[in-house]
Homo-oligomer: A and B are copies of this chain.
Amino acid sequence: MKEKKIILGHGSGGRLSRELIEEIISPHLGNRELFGLNDGALLHIEENDLAFTTDSYIIDPVFFPGGDIGKLAVAGTVNDLLMVGATPKFISLSFIIEEGFSIVDLEKILVSIKKTAEAADVKIATGDTKILPRGKGDKIFINTSGIGLRITKQPLTPERVKEGDKIIVTGTLGDHSAAVMIAREGLSVNSNILSDCAELTTPLLDLFKQGYNIKCMRDPTRGGLAAVLTEIICGTEYNAKIDEREIPVRDDVLAVCEVLGLDPLYMANEGKAVIIAEAAEADKITSFLKNFPVSAEASVIGEIEKGDKQKGKVILMTVTGGERLVVLPHTEQLPRIC
């Protein structure tokens, strides 16, 4: 890594993030996958496979259309447990609050944490609160770690992805980034764009119970669909080919993207999953997901192909019929998105 100091891009979920993790963090800790591929770890304790995950939330602004940092922190950690095929059971909650932060705002956040935890049926098991002197932090940061119990028969992991598997997204892309961008920049866009921030417990636990052959699942947060597919396919003998015409994006989100020069493929989502599943079951999975409001716009957007000249790549078939390589973004379009 050529940088001597941390730069914003190291938090992007893009190529710089990967460099920091692969070249600095992982070598020291001796655990290559630690900060990388997996949303959560699967741990075998006595007779159980437990899922364990952690995330710190530093989003700016703390309140945004469609959610707040509290909802985001609980939903994000719950979703990370779901992504490894686990029923979310317990979460921890650790606050780092800047001196001067409004107690009324803290209470709003707490209300939202409680509501989200109840909806996801997770118990807040343990907590911590630290206070920073004014100017040494920014309002409030929240860490949520989570424990779940694996319920899928097989672990959900990129190793199980094979040629012919279909790629599904559970709904429209880019809503979260667009909503946060509008709120942060105070853009006077005439839109009703809300963040998609949501916990996906109900549809995904119900989906697991159906017993479909789901290979792998990821929530496309920082770095978006592009980062998630790159992580899954990178280093394999396959390519992930997605069809731009099938990728659901709201018209108003697309309009914001055009104004701001953003690409929905790279934009963060906070209530969506990318599912890789056996081809024969992809349509059934999509139909099943459409029964739930948070995944009503689920669709099959592509498939896993055998690589030829190129391997381990994400390829986009554009609306105009061309093909282009989707590369991991070097840095983040939008810092502090989660």
Give A270 Cβ to nearest chain B Cβ, in Å. 14
The answer to whether A132 touches B58 (Cβ under 8 A) is yes
Q: Is the interface of A mostly helix, strand, loop or mixed?
A: mixed
Beyond A43-B125, A48-B46, A126-B38, whether A92 also contacts B54 by CB under 8 A is yes
Distance of A311 Cα from B306 Cα, bound (Å): 74
Checking B50, B54, B90, B97 against A94 with a beta-carbon cut-off of 8 angstroms, the contacting residue is: B54
Contact B54 A131, beta carbon cutoff 8 Å: no
A149–B34 CB distance below 8 A: no
User: Which of A6, A52, A129, A132 has the most CB atoms of chain B within a 10 A radius of its CB?
Assistant: A6
- Whether a CB of chain B sits under 8 angstroms from the CB of A102 is yes
Instruction: For A309, list chain B residues within 8 Å (CB).
Output: none
Q: How far is A124 from B43 in the complex, measured between Cα atoms in Å?
A: 11
Q: How far is the CB of A124 from chain B (nearest CB, A)?
A: 6
Residue of B nearest to A53 (CB): B126
Which parts of A119-141 form the interface with B (CB within 8 Å)? 123-133, 135-138, 141
Q: Is the CB of B97 within 8 A of A127?
A: no
Complex CA distance for A40 and B149, rounded to whole angstroms: 19
Q: Of B4, B30, B50, B128, which is within 8 A of A54 by CB?
A: B128
Residues A10 and B94 in contact, CB atoms below 8 Å apart = no
- A35 proximal to B (CB < 8 A): yes
Whole-angstrom distance between the Cβ of A142 and the nearest chain B Cβ: 9
A90-B25 contact given A47-B47, A99-B8, A124-B34, CB 8 Å threshold: no
Q: Is the CB of B6 within 8 A of A143?
A: no
Asked if B110 contacts A25 (CB within 8 A), the reply is yes
CB contact list, A206-247 vs B, under 8 A: none
Q: How far is the CB of A101 from chain B (nearest CB, A)?
A: 4
Task: Determine the residue in chain B with the shortest Cβ distance to A58.
Answer: B130
A85 within 8 A of B: no
Contact flags (1/0) for A76-98 with B, using CB distance below 8 Å?
00000000000001101111111
Decide yes or no whether A259 CB sits under 8 A from chain B: no
Residues 44-70 of A contacting B (Cβ, < 8 Å): 45-48, 50, 52-58, 60
A168, B190: Cα distance in complex, Å: 66
Instruction: Check if A104 sits within 8 Å of B4, measured CB to CB.
Output: yes
- 19 residue pairs of the A-B complex, CB under 8 angstroms, read A3-B103, A8-B133, A10-B129, A11-B129, A12-B131, A28-B114, A29-B114, A31-B124, A34-B124, A41-B125, A43-B90, A45-B149, A56-B94, A56-B130, A56-B143, A58-B137, A132-B336, A133-B336, A136-B137
Interface residues of A (CB under 8 A from B): 1, 3-12, 17, 20-21, 24-25, 28-31, 34-35, 38, 40-41, 43, 45-48, 50, 52-58, 60, 89-90, 92-104, 106-107, 110-111, 113-114, 117, 123-133, 135-138, 141, 143, 145, 147, 149, 335-336
Q: 4 smallest A-B Cβ distances: which pairs?
A: A11-B131, A54-B92, A145-B145, A28-B110
